[in-house]
């Protein structure tokens, strides 16, 4: 069975500081991995996705994530936080070898301190 664990329901960083949101997955077969973002009172939108083409994935708004098979991790990073990055972030996993639903993590709320 697949699962996703997001460490930390709430992360707070200062503007300009590094953003690191942690995601660990469990999957018996090679996974597809996603990060979605939900801004206040808005729907979810895709930040980036890993589909085995490259382990370092670059997404929108300066975010990137690195797939580490040995650590079963797919942490999301951004070198310098901006106030507009304040949102809820969801990590998600699915199997590429079969038709199956995407499993979402519980989400991490990112706050940015001025």
**Contacting residues toward another protein, per CB under 8 A:** 32, 34, 36, 42-46, 49, 90, 94-96, 98-107
First to last CA, the chain: 41
Q: Which is nearer to another protein, 25 or 36 (CB)?
A: 36
C-alpha span between 100 and 114 (Å, rounded): 41
Q: Which is nearer to another protein, 70 or 98 (CB)?
A: 98
C-alpha span between 32 and 98 (Å, rounded): 11
Least separation in angstroms between residue 17's CB and another protein is 25
Q: Which is nearer to another protein, 105 or 112 (CB)?
A: 105
Least separation in angstroms between residue 20's CB and another protein is 19
Q: Which is nearer to another protein, 19 or 36 (CB)?
A: 36
Residue 77 CB-half CA count within 13 A:
10
27 Rama sector, left if φ>0, alpha if ψ -120 to 50, beta otherwise: beta
Least separation in angstroms between residue 97's CB and another protein is 9
């Amino acid at each position: 069975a697949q699962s996703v664990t997001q460490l930390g329901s709430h992360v707070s960083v200062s503007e300009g500081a590094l953003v690191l949101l942690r995601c660990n997955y469990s999957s018996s077969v090679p996974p597809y991995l996603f990060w979605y973002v939900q801004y206040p009172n808005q729907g979810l939108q895709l930040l980036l996705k890993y589909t085995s083409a490259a382990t370092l994935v670059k997404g929108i708004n300066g975010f990137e994530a690195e797939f580490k098979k040995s650590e079963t991790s797919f942490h999301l990073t951004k070198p310098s936080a901006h106030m507009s990055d304040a949102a809820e972030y969801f990590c998600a996993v699915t199997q590429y070898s079969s038709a199956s639903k995407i499993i979402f993590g519980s989400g991490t709320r990112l706050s940015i301190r001025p």
